[in-house]
Structure 1
């Protein structure tokens, strides 16, 4: 089975999310065991939690399991705890956890507003004020959870329901009002979707809205870091020797430098306005590649990394390598971020670190040359899938390699990006648990 195992620890934390991402998804439940009721804003500084586009996927996965229902014992207890802790209007800090790592604020509905639109309209300026105060100290991630109580049809039984947003990043330069408007619209759409399913549940009351907040301290590209010699020798990259924190900008512009010594910063003078870098922070975290794509039409970005590992060749390994040994220690290229649709102006970037917490981008000018030899010993010119690294060469009696690659992409684009890692030759799986078998009655 294809695997993405072997990512560097820091790179894993940057792309897939840190080991504390479970905290991010389960923060409310975990905080309850280590929480304290608070009456004011906790003055202790928050600590780094995570940097991951994968946070959104985690929360969506959780929602797909639990839906809008909030009726297990733990959720009921947490909701009762929040409602009892809040005794005044506005957002109140109700819980802190992990020594201030996570904080939760709750606004309880005290008035007679009977519909969601009115309650959210009242909440909006208060939430903007809260988030403005928090983001002034440090970038944050937050989630919203709108809690209500519904009555089951033809009964007097009440049931808790909640509507949630995905994890959202808030930076000092973010237009908070626009983002909150988008969040509230998503909550209302989720409520409409539930009502449209025809359950017949009637809204008994709106209880309040919960804001979970986490500090956001992303890794980002930094100044020049030399590539390992083995990768440099592939002559497939442009590694600009910058002394500032703008290696992401240089890596993008490197595509248009065709003179000798493209690694010299002097070649990039006067090119900074070629693309729109508005809202991009320097150093640049991986998560902002999506923002750059939105800023520039017909632009797409893939980001790759590397790890030390074994080459494994799929095709005719016994004939290519003496003694049937198809393993060779080398640097293996790994996809970190692969776009869904490749645009006409496409960029492949390499993202790596120096082992000391400093990260750097460089431009990949020939992905086939960089990756091809880790997938096949065939020295013919290759066409490569940027998502799974499958390679194609021209063969007699078959369609052109580009045509076969296009056919492959129609299927592969539906899948997550992976690095195929094959087992060594003569590796077998053997079934031994015969005690777990059952006789079939013929």
Structure 2
């Protein structure tokens, strides 16, 4: 509303000074951004669905069936934005970091022989998601990748035509980092060199204690966490999820 008001004021009143082309271009760009956001908002508002969940170990598979068939045989970014912004915040409150993928289950038919029908799933790409991730941007990125993959599937003379989008699938995988989390004994060869400090922490702040041990060396028992606790607040770890 503020952008539209600004646009109307600046375009409806006679300027008292020459307005540069850059000013007009910047303003037009801002208004176009607003129009796009409004369009996405309308899509989100009307995207309703039923949910079917299944599990495999720690991994979660969620299928979203649009109630009002808003998508039909068209891919609508608002559907995916609503699914992701509705579901992931609750998951991220329990697990600060997860791996996520999104896709569409679709029916296709051959243009040369409509009786030949194929059901397939086309996905984006597994992405690491944290509490700091912009979920709307994530959904838009997924949507762009899925759309490209669909285009590749239906182009180049394949003859396949989308007849129906059955559901959106959101897959949430447990994040198993390859990085350090807590204390792990070093190999004997490295211990023998006496070149490494291996702090014996029992939490997931291995990276923090390693940094502090380098910044604040001690002569005695450098592997003890107690030597570095007094310096813990010196390094700003705001927004960083351990491990």
Deviations 1:415-435 (A, max 9, x none): xxxxxxxxxxxxxxxxxxxxx
**Residue 112 of structure 2 is aligned to residue 151 of structure 1:** no
CA-CA distance at 1:93 after TM superposition: 2.0
How many corresponding residue pairs?
189
CA distance in 2, matches of 1:226, 1:216: 23
CA distance in 1, matches of 2:234, 2:146: 40
CA contact (8 A) 2:105 2:120 kept: yes
CA-CA distance at 1:261 after TM superposition: 6.7
**2:99 counterpart residue number:** 141
CA-CA distance at 1:92 after TM superposition: 0.9
Say which of 36, 48, 54 aligns to 1:95.
54
CA-CA distance at 1:197 after TM superposition: 2.8
Deviations 1:317-369 (A, max 9, x none): xxxxxxxxxxxxxxxxxxxxxxxxxxxxxxxxxxxxxxxxxxxxxxxxxxxxx
CA contact (8 A) 2:52 2:64 kept: no
CA-CA distance at 1:164 after TM superposition: 1.0
**Residue 61 of structure 2 is aligned to residue 104 of structure 1:** yes
Measured at CA, do residues 200 and 238 of structure 1 come closer, stay the same or move farther in structure 2, by a change above 3 Å?
same
CA contact (8 A) 1:96 1:102 kept: yes
Measured at CA, do residues 162 and 241 of structure 1 come closer, stay the same or move farther in structure 2, by a change above 3 Å?
closer
CA distance in 1, matches of 2:70, 2:203: 56
SS in 1 for 2:166: strand
Say which of 147, 153, 157 aligns to 1:188.
147
CA distance in 1, matches of 2:73, 2:84: 18
CA distance in 1, matches of 2:52, 2:201: 44
CA-CA distance at 1:162 after TM superposition: 2.3
Measured at CA, do residues 229 and 217 of structure 1 come closer, stay the same or move farther in structure 2, by a change above 3 Å?
closer
> RCO higher in 1 or 2 (8 Å CA, sep ≥ 6)?
2
Measured at CA, do residues 261 and 187 of structure 1 come closer, stay the same or move farther in structure 2, by a change above 3 Å?
farther
TM-score w.r.t. the length of structure 2 is 0.59
CA-CA distance at 1:146 after TM superposition: 0.7
**Residue 128 of structure 2 is aligned to residue 166 of structure 1:** no
**1:175 counterpart residue number:** 134
Alignment of 1:55-94 (within 5 A): 89-94=48-53
**Residue 87 of structure 2 is aligned to residue 127 of structure 1:** no
Ranges in structure 1 where 5+ consecutive residues have no aligned partner: 1-88, 285-442
CA-CA distance at 1:131 after TM superposition: 1.9
CA distance in 1, matches of 2:65, 2:207: 44
CA-CA distance at 1:232 after TM superposition: 1.2
CA distance in 2, matches of 1:247, 1:95: 34
**Residue 228 of structure 2 is aligned to residue 263 of structure 1:** no
CA distance in 2, matches of 1:215, 1:266: 31
CA-CA distance at 1:115 after TM superposition: 5.4
CA distance in 1, matches of 2:167, 2:218: 61
**Residue 241 of structure 2 is aligned to residue 281 of structure 1:** yes
CA contact (8 A) 1:148 1:206 kept: yes
CA contact (8 A) 1:147 1:208 kept: yes
CA-CA distance at 1:266 after TM superposition: 5.0
**1:49 counterpart residue number:** none
Ranges in structure 2 where 5+ consecutive residues have no aligned partner: 1-47
CA contact (8 A) 1:149 1:158 kept: yes
SS in 1 for 2:111: coil
Larger fraction in helix: 2
CA contact (8 A) 2:107 2:117 kept: yes
CA-CA distance at 1:144 after TM superposition: 1.8
SS in 2 for 1:238: coil
